[in-house]
Amino acid sequence: MLLASAVGPAAGAKGGAAGEAGPSARAGDPAVGWVVEVLPAEAGAPQEPLLRVCLDSSQPRVGVVFRHSVEKSPVVEWFEPAPPPAAGLVLVATEYESFGAGLPVDAPAGARFRHAGDRFVIDGLAVPVPELVVRPLSWTEHGLLAGGVQHDLTRLADPGTPLLVRVVPVGTEPEGSCPGP
C-alpha cells in the first residue's frame, strides 16, 4: 500500500524537532536499542509478542499505516517512545495522500503542515498516546512500518482483534538484545 514515506526513518527524519537528538540519546537512558512489539490487547490474552522488530537506536520511529475508511487512501501515523518518566508513545507526525472527510487541512498549534511529493504531512506533533491499540481488518489494510519494512498486521490475529503496539528499550545484556519471533 505505502511504498515510501515522506517522514519515516527511510526519509531521514530524526526524532524530535530538527537538530534534536532522538529519544534514545536522552541523558540517563540505559537503552542501546529499541524493539517494537505487537501483542494481543484483550484481557487474559497471552502476553507473548505476535511480532517483534528491531529498530535503529538512533531512530526509534514506527508508523501505523491504514486505509482511511472514507477516502480509501493510505494514512500513516508516526510514533516515537514517550520521554521518561511517561509511558507509551507520542504521535509525532501524520501523512496522507488526499483531502476529504476526517483528514486535516491544517496543522494544530506548534506543528507544521507541508506538501511532500504526493503526500500531505503534518509533523512537529507531540500527542501523548499512553496505549496504542489497533483493530486490524482486511479492508483497513493495517500495517506496521518498522525497521524499514512494512509488516501486515491483518495476518497476526482474527479480524477486529485488538492489538497493542508498543516500543520498548533493549539494554546491553545478551538477554536484552533484539531477538524476535
What confidence tens digit (pLDDT) does each residue in 40-67 have?
Answer: 998 776 788 999 998 877 778 999 998 8
Range name among 19-33, 54-68, 150-164 with the lowest pLDDT average: 19-33
Read off the pTM.
0.78
What confidence tens digit (pLDDT) does each residue in 64-120 have?
Answer: 998 866 566 788 999 999 888 788 999 999 888 776 666 667 778 888 888 888 888
Q: How far apart are CA 121 and CA 112, in angstroms?
A: 8
Domain boundaries, the chain: 34-169
CA 12, 108, 145, 69 dihedral sign is: negative
